[in-house]
């Protein structure tokens, strides 16, 4: 089976955030690949990755970056595959810079921006799964089961004093 989800991040330092994306995809049993690709440190690699993503069989790209986070936008500029951006929580501005860099794409080249940090990384995996689930019954079932487990856990632990 072809790998359908590509996860890229601007730096090794983004892994602490992006490992949450990988963790959810593993829970869902969805095959994926992970790579450090920097828009400003390895621009040629970014172009090559984005240009070849579709022909290699990828269907969704998840791109995590922090600070002047142009990785998701530049990736989206070079492929028509859906790109999901994860704003990594930067040290200087707590991720507001990352969020605005990713969310404020000018009209014409969209990037789906998630929340800052762990929540965004988690939701990026779930959003990518939801896209694949449109055509893939196995992914749809895995996603439904994930959500059902989450609901059951909240219902079972409904007294906050016990937590
Ligand atoms: C961005 O710069 C990366 O996505 C990372 O979040 C940020 C800092 O990178 P390092 O200086 O830690 O490598 O390109």
Q: Which of 15, 38, 63, 67 to mutate to test the pocket of ligand 1 (most atoms within 8 A of CB)?
A: 67
Does any domain span residue 163? Answer: no
User: How many angstroms is it from 123 CA to the middle of ligand 1?
Assistant: 21
Place of tokens 């970056």: 65
Does any domain span residue 49? Answer: yes
- Number of structural domains (the chain) is 1
SS3 per-residue string spanning 26-85: HHHCCCEEEEECCCCCCHHHHHHHHHHHCCCCCCEEEEEEECCCCHHHHHHHCCCCCEEE
List, in order, residues 6 or more apart from 57 with CB less than 8 Å away.
Answer: 2, 3, 4
Does any domain span residue 129? Answer: yes
**Which residues does a 6 A CB cutoff place in the pocket of ligand 1?**
10-11, 13-14, 38, 65-67, 88
Place of tokens 């893939």: 136
Helix (H) or strand (E) holding 123: helix 118-133
| Protein residue with least CA distance to atom 2, ligand 1 | 66
List, in order, residues 6 or more apart from 70 with CB less than 8 Å away.
Answer: 39, 40, 101
Please tell me the pTM assigned to this model.
0.97
Tokens (6 digits) for 72? 């998701």
Each residue's pLDDT tens digit, 95-117: 999 999 999 999 999 999 999 99
| Residue 148, domain CATH | 3.40.50.1970
Place of tokens 């609901």: 151
Each residue's pLDDT tens digit, 68-98: 999 999 999 999 999 999 999 999 999 999 9
Residue 134 to residue 128: CA distance in whole angstroms: 10
Does any domain span residue 38? Answer: yes
Residue 102 to residue 106: CA distance in whole angstroms: 10
Does any domain span residue 20? Answer: yes
Q: Is the ipTM of this complex over 0.90?
A: yes
Encode 22-32: b = buried (16+ Cβ within 10 Å), e = exposed.
bebbeebebeb
Each residue's pLDDT tens digit, 14-37: 999 999 999 999 999 999 999 999
- Domain of residue 71 covers 5-158
Does any domain span residue 149? Answer: yes
């Amino acid at each position: 089976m072809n790998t359908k989800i590509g996860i890229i991040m601007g730096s090794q330092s983004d892994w602490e955030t992006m490992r949450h994306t990988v963790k959810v995809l593993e829970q869902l049993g969805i095959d994926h690949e992970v790579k450090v690709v920097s828009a400003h440190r390895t621009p040629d690699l970014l172009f090559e990755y984005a240009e070849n993503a579709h022909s290699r069989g990828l269907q969704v790209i998840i791109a995590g970056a922090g600070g002047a986070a142009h990785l998701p936008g530049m990736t989206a500029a070079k492929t028509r595959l859906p790109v999901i951006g994860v704003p990594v929580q930067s040290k200087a501005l707590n991720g507001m810079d990352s969020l605005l860099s990713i969310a404020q794409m000018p009209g014409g080249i969209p990037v789906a921006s998630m929340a800052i940090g762990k929540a965004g990384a988690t939701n990026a995996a779930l959003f990518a799964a939801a896209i694949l689930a449109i055509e893939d019954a196995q992914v749809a079932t895995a996603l439904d089961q994930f959500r059902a487990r989450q609901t059951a856990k909240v219902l079972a632990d409904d007294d906050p004093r016990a937590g």
